[in-house]
Amino acid sequence: MALAALFGNRQVDEALEPQDVLVILQEDGTAAIAPVVETNEERIYARSMDGSYNVPKGDVKAYTGPRGRIFLYPTTVENVQDCQRLAALERSIVLRQITHFEPEYVERKGLSFGKILLIAGGALFMFILLIVAVAK
């Protein structure tokens, strides 16, 4: 096994990489185990066969195991559903930002033809009202 690691065996290299796991303990006695996809200062994002989870990092207890960190999240069933909704919302926001590209609006300087006609029409109307008022 040492020779395989020495010569860069992929299976051994992948086995040695840390694999963080999120364990969600529910009040009904069930647990969901999901591999962690991303972590930052605010949240832990994990994805499993049951769905995706977006959990606040302040609400979990972190432990170190032989294969990586283990994040333990004791919760209720409703809270798990909220975490799954947050993960789905985040994924849809990212997809929306990728697919809905809007070019920057470039404001034109100067008056457009429509504005010039509107100003000229208003001035003509005021001029006609002035003539009618003076003629009476």
Tell me whether residue 122 is in a domain: no
> Residue 124: what pLDDT?
92
> Which range is least confidently modeled, 16-20, 39-43, 65-69, 97-101?
97-101
Distances (CA, A) of 66 to 15, 72, 86: 11, 15, 30
87: pLDDT confidence band, cut at 50, 70 and 90?
confident
Which residue in 50, 51, 62, 76 sits closest to 22, CA to CA? 62
Tokens describing residue 35? 């591999």
pTM of the model: 0.51
> Residue 10: what pLDDT?
55
> Residue 21: what pLDDT?
92
Tokens describing residue 119? 């100003």
Tell me whether residue 80 is in a domain: yes
26 lies in which domain range? Answer: 2-99
Residues 98-113 have a mean pLDDT of 69
Which pLDDT tens digit goes with each residue over 20-57? 999 888 777 778 889 999 888 888 888 888 778 888 88
Q: How many domains does the chain have?
A: 1
Tokens describing residue 80? 């798990």
Token pair 């920057």 is found at: 104
Tell me whether residue 109 is in a domain: no
